Structure 1
Amino acid sequence: MLTTLWNYLFRGWKSTRAPLFEAPLSHVPFLAIDLELTSLDSNNAEITSIGWVAGSHGKIDLNSAFYCVVDTQQPLGQSPVIHGLTPEVLREGCALEDVINHLFDKLSTNVLVFHNASLDLAVLNKVIARLSKPRVEICFVDTLQMAVYQLKKRHSVLPEGSVTLSACRKRLMLPVAPAHNALDDALATLQLWFAQVHELGASRHGCLKKLRHTRATGRSNLG
């Protein structure tokens, strides 16, 4: 399943998002997005909350931060145990279409940052198509895949739990961050990405195109 998702995500490689993909990383606008979901199966998952925050030049723009609980009628399963969003809380949330409308224009004008891009992008693709939004070309980076790339230099088998967001941050000596809130996780992910770029020594003159070998960058179409 994961291979199929990655094949889908990379199918848009020759899209027109070249300027973002080839610009110096120091000039690229990034937007970290995190979704809290009802399930880890993208076919069944629905969004219960979403958070995003922008940054560039290695700095996070807190004024850009956005968070919203999303009203969903889908079964929650065990997800409230993780993110604490009960049916009562969700009923007070925003309409999904309103949230996607607010996000939509940002998708093509920023490089999107995820921790586990294959899951979040598959859900966003499904939602955008269901809402009959036009297809949108995107560039993205995945801090989880970047961590895998770095870990495989030292381990033939990845240690259990080594690519969670908290574990990745700990390895780069970033402070402990609150978990399982969409905005907190988006902030933590963007901070991790900037630290990963610094660790690679790519922050000043590198570009996303030069990081293709890591499998942590990509271009695709949503919708």
Structure 2
Amino acid sequence: MWEKLKQWLAPRPQVPDEWLTMPLAEIPFLCIDLELTSLNLKDTKILSIGWVEGKGKQIFMESCFYQVISTTGSLNQSPVIHGLTAQDIAQGQPLRISLEKLKQYASSHIWVFHCTALDMTVLNGVFRKLNIALPTVVTVDTLRFGLYQLTKNLRPPPPNAVVLPVCRARYNLPAVAGHNALDDAMATMELLYAQLQKFSPKTSDTLKSLLITDAVEVFTPQPIQDRKKTP
């Protein structure tokens, strides 16, 4: 109990000034989505990863990235949910290749997720497991952004009110087929732009204006310890 209290009381990392003062229209975003074998963070595996860049309410289609990841262990219900079979996974790439590419965006872009806590917990874990140092990352969470907009009137949101399809529907965004990492990344980017337009239509507003939503977070990974060599 005391350990949890200390974590809650610990000061949160501060967003670097260069991001805080940047106008929202000038921020380069990288929207990322992971497809996982389960929501159990202790043993979940990444099946596929997708991302897309955006800036100034534009989505850069040439930046689209999608990769199936070769992994081991049970796929659980993934063939039904994600459509990825054991044969697809066997033909995938090692996770390290995608992580090395993703790392290149850590300092140059703000990462966007629909549920940052889930995806960044998984990403932090695999970066450490593969001994890949990840710089500090600033993120925006469209789920928490949506929750803020729903609860401004102090009323609790209805069940499933902040899942991606329901959030999109509130902005009259078209329904999209889910459970594909790239499709979900693009759908999340569209949602972010709709949220920003409603929250802050002024082009002069900066990232600092979003702090009130609690959707902006800073992730500072712990240093990777040198592994002791066994004799």
* TM-score, shorter chain, exceeding 0.5: yes
**Which amino acid is 1:109 matched to?**
S
Larger Rg: 2
State how far apart, in whole Å, the 2-side matches of 1:203 and 1:66 are. Answer: 31
Q: Does 1:14 align with 2:14?
A: yes
**1:23-62 alignment runs, 5 A limit:** 23-62=22-61
Compared CA separation, residues 158 and 65, structure 1 to 2 (3 A): same
Counterpart CA distance in 1 for 2:182 and 2:18 is 28
Partner SS for 2:49: strand
- Corresponding residue number in structure 2 for 1:176: 175
Q: Is the 8 A contact 1:197 1:203 kept in 2?
A: no
Q: Is the 8 A contact 1:34 1:114 kept in 2?
A: yes
TM (normalized to structure 1)?
0.91
Q: Quick one: distance in 2 between partners of 1:154 and 1:74? A: 45
Task: Extract unaligned runs of 5+ from structure 2.
Answer: 223-231
Tell me the SS of whatever aligns to 1:222. coil
In structure 2, do the counterparts of structure 1 residues 203 and 189 end up closer, same or farther at CA, with 3 Å as the change threshold?
farther
CA offset at residue 155 of structure 1? 5.8
Range that drifts further, 56-65 or 155-164: 155-164
Moved over 3 A (4+): none
Contact (CA 8 Å) 1:11, 1:220: kept in 2 or not? no
Q: Which moved more, 1:157-166 or 1:55-64?
A: 157-166
**Which structure ranks higher in relative contact order (CA pairs < 8 Å, sequence separation ≥ 6)?**
1
Give the secondary-structure state (helix, strand or coil) at the position aligned to 1:103: helix
Measured in 2, the distance between the counterparts of 1:32 and 1:122 equals 16
TM-score by length of structure 2 reads 0.88
Find the aligned partners of 1:11 and 1:101 in 2 and give their Cα distance.
30
Alpha-carbon separation, structure 2, partners of 1:210 and 1:154? 19
Provide the alpha-carbon RMSD of the alignment.
1.8
Q: What's the counterpart of residue 93 of structure 2? A: 94
Q: What is the 5 A alignment of 1:202-217? A: 202=201, 204-217=203-216
Distance 1:136 1:199, change over 3 A: same
Which amino acid is the alignment partner of residue 105 of structure 1? Q
Partners of 2:73 and 2:115 lie apart in 1 by 22
Matched ranges for 1:13-162 at <5 A: 13-14=13-14, 17-154=16-153, 156-162=155-161
Aligned-residue sequence identity (percent) comes to 38
SS, match of residue 193 in structure 2: helix
Unaligned runs of 5+ in 1: none
Give the secondary structure class of the aligned counterpart of 1:136.
Answer: coil
Provide the residue aligned with 1:187 in structure 2.
Answer: 186
Q: Distance in 1 between matches of 2:103 and 2:54?
A: 17
